[in-house]
Structure 1
Amino acid sequence: MLLRGQDVHHFRFRARTASLCRGPGNIPRPRRPAPLAIAAVPALRGARGSRALRRVRDAAGEVYARAWYPLCFTAVTDQGKPHHLDLCGVAVVFWHDGEAWRAARDACPHRGVRLSEGRLNERSLQCPYHGWAFDGAGRCVSIPQAEKEKASSARKGACLRMLPTEERQGLLFAWAAPLYGDAAPPDLGLLEELAHEEILGTEGVKYVDYSRDLPMDLPILMENVLDPAHLPFTHHGTISQRERASSVPIQTTSSFNGFTGERSTSPGGGLAFFAPNHVWALTQRPESFRDWNLVYGTPLAEDSCRVFVRVVFEVSKVPMPLRLVFQYAFSDQLPAFFTHLSNHRVLEDDNVFLHYQGKSMKSEELPTYTPSTSDAAVLAYRDWLRRNGTCVRAGSGTVPGGMLTRAQLVERLRSHTEHCASCSQALALARGAQAPAEAAVLLGLLGAALDGHAAFAFAASLGFALRLAARSLEEKLTVGEYPPPRNS
Structure 2
Amino acid sequence: MAPCSAHSAQFRAPRAPVSIARPALGRAAVHRAAGVARRPLTTRPRGPVERGQPSSTAATAPAQTALDTPAAQAADAPFSYERTWWAVHDLASIDPDRPNALELLGKKLVLWRDGEGKWRCNEDMCPHRLAPLSEGRTVDGQLECSYHGWRFNSGGRCVRIPQSVDAKAEATACASSRSCVRSYPVREQSGIIWVWAHPGSPDEAESSPLPIPLGLQQLVASGKRIRWFRRVLPYSWDVLLENVVDPAHLPHSHHKLTPMLTRDKSGPMPFASVQQQRQHASNGADHSAASGSSSGSSSSSSSGSSSGSGADGGGAEAPDYAPPGMPPVGAFAFPSALSASGVVAFTPPALVAYEYALPGSAKLWTWIYAAPAGPGRSIVLTTTGNTRPSVTPGMLAKALLTAPKTLPPLLMNYYIQNIPMWRSHLLSNKLFDQDSVFLAQQDALLQRKGRQSWTSDYYLPIQSDLLVTATRRWIDSKAGGGPAYAEGAEPMGPTPSTEQIQDRWSQHTRHCKACRDAMAAMAVKAARARGAAAALFAALCALLGTYGAPGLLAGGAPALLAAAAAAGAAVALAVARRAAATVQAFKHVPFSHADNE
TM-score by length of 2: 0.69
CA contact (8 A) 2:184 2:195 kept: yes
Within the alignment, does 1:213 sit opposite 2:232 as a pair? yes
CA distance in structure 2 between the aligned counterparts of 1:399 and 1:326, rounded to whole angstroms: 44
1:208 partner SS: coil
Q: How does 1:121-200 map to 2 (within 5 A)?
A: 121-148=139-166, 149-157=168-176, 158-178=179-199, 185-186=204-205, 188-191=207-210, 193=212, 197-200=216-219
Within the alignment, does 1:238 sit opposite 2:257 as a pair? yes
The C-alpha deviation readout for 1:363-422, integer Å capped at 9, x for no partner, is 123522212221111111121112121132224434752101111111111111111111
Q: How does 1:111-122 map to 2 (within 5 A)?
A: 111-122=129-140
CA contact (8 A) 2:89 2:193 kept: yes
Q: Which residue of 1 aligns with 2:465?
A: 375
CA distance in structure 2 between the aligned counterparts of 1:190 and 1:97, rounded to whole angstroms: 24
Give the helix-richer structure, 1 or 2.
Answer: 2
CA distance in structure 2 between the aligned counterparts of 1:448 and 1:232, rounded to whole angstroms: 50
The C-alpha deviation readout for 1:451-473, integer Å capped at 9, x for no partner, is 34324334422331232122111
Query: Which of the numbers 13, 16, 19 marks the counterpart of 2:22?
Result: 16
Q: Which residue of 1 aligns with 2:246?
A: 227
CA distance in structure 1 between the aligned counterparts of 2:372 and 2:104, rounded to whole angstroms: 6
* CA drift at 1:439: 2.6
CA contact (8 A) 1:169 1:195 kept: no
CA distance in structure 2 between the aligned counterparts of 1:315 and 1:108, rounded to whole angstroms: 49
More moved, 465-474 vs 255-264: 255-264
More moved, 109-118 vs 452-461: 452-461
Change (3 A) 1:193 1:26: farther
The C-alpha deviation readout for 1:288-337, integer Å capped at 9, x for no partner, is 42111111112112101110001112232997531332233123xx3211
CA distance in structure 1 between the aligned counterparts of 2:342 and 2:36, rounded to whole angstroms: 19
Q: Percent identity?
A: 28
- Number of residue equivalences: 444
Q: What value does the CA root-mean-square deviation take over the aligned residues?
A: 2.9
Change (3 A) 1:370 1:264: same
Match of 1:69, as an amino acid? Answer: W
Within the alignment, does 1:259 sit opposite 2:346 as a pair? no
Change (3 A) 1:165 1:16: same
Q: Which residue of 1 aligns with 2:588?
A: 479
CA contact (8 A) 1:301 1:396 kept: no
Q: Which has the higher contact order (CA 8 A, sep 6+)?
A: 1
Q: Which residue of 1 aligns with 2:579?
A: 470
CA distance in structure 2 between the aligned counterparts of 1:146 and 1:261, rounded to whole angstroms: 60
Q: How does 1:311-390 map to 2 (within 5 A)?
A: 311-316=384-389, 321-331=408-418, 334-364=419-449, 365=453, 367-387=457-477, 388-389=479-480, 390=482
The C-alpha deviation readout for 1:200-219, integer Å capped at 9, x for no partner, is 24658554321111111111
1:345 partner SS: helix
CA distance in structure 1 between the aligned counterparts of 2:221 and 2:535, rounded to whole angstroms: 55
CA contact (8 A) 2:100 2:134 kept: yes
CA distance in structure 2 between the aligned counterparts of 1:187 and 1:270, rounded to whole angstroms: 31
Match of 1:147, as an amino acid? Answer: V
Q: Which has the larger radius of gyration?
A: 2
Match of 2:376, as an amino acid? Answer: D
CA distance in structure 1 between the aligned counterparts of 2:344 and 2:221, rounded to whole angstroms: 19
Q: How does 1:30-49 map to 2 (within 5 A)?
A: 30-32=41-43
The C-alpha deviation readout for 1:104-135, integer Å capped at 9, x for no partner, is 00001111100010111111111010001112
Change (3 A) 1:190 1:478: same
Q: Which residue of 1 aligns with 2:71?
A: none
* CA drift at 1:264: 4.7
Change (3 A) 1:326 1:208: farther
Q: Which residue of 1 aligns with 2:483?
A: 391
Change (3 A) 1:408 1:250: farther
2:410 partner SS: helix
Match of 1:278, as an amino acid? Answer: L
More moved, 397-406 vs 353-362: 397-406
Change (3 A) 1:26 1:200: farther
Q: Which residue of 1 aligns with 2:569?
A: 460
Change (3 A) 1:72 1:362: same
More moved, 105-114 vs 229-238: 229-238
Within the alignment, does 1:273 sit opposite 2:346 as a pair? yes
Q: Which residue of 2 aligns with 1:96?
A: 113
1:107 partner SS: coil
CA contact (8 A) 1:107 1:115 kept: yes
Match of 1:73, as an amino acid? Answer: D
CA distance in structure 2 between the aligned counterparts of 1:307 and 1:100, rounded to whole angstroms: 23
1:78 partner SS: coil
CA contact (8 A) 2:367 2:384 kept: yes
Change (3 A) 1:344 1:337: same
Q: Which residue of 2 aligns with 1:110?
A: 128
Q: Which residue of 2 aligns with 1:10?
A: none
The C-alpha deviation readout for 1:194-252, integer Å capped at 9, x for no partner, is 68653424658554321111111111111111111221222222141222222231316
CA contact (8 A) 2:191 2:226 kept: no
- Could you tell me which runs of 5 or more consecutive residues in structure 2 were left unpaired when the two chains were aligned: 1-20, 45-75, 276-309, 313-325, 392-405, 545-560
The C-alpha deviation readout for 1:430-464, integer Å capped at 9, x for no partner, is 22333333332222222211134324334422331
Match of 2:365, as an amino acid? Answer: W
Within the alignment, does 1:73 sit opposite 2:146 as a pair? no
CA contact (8 A) 1:29 1:379 kept: no
CA contact (8 A) 1:430 1:470 kept: yes
Change (3 A) 1:277 1:119: same
CA contact (8 A) 2:149 2:161 kept: yes
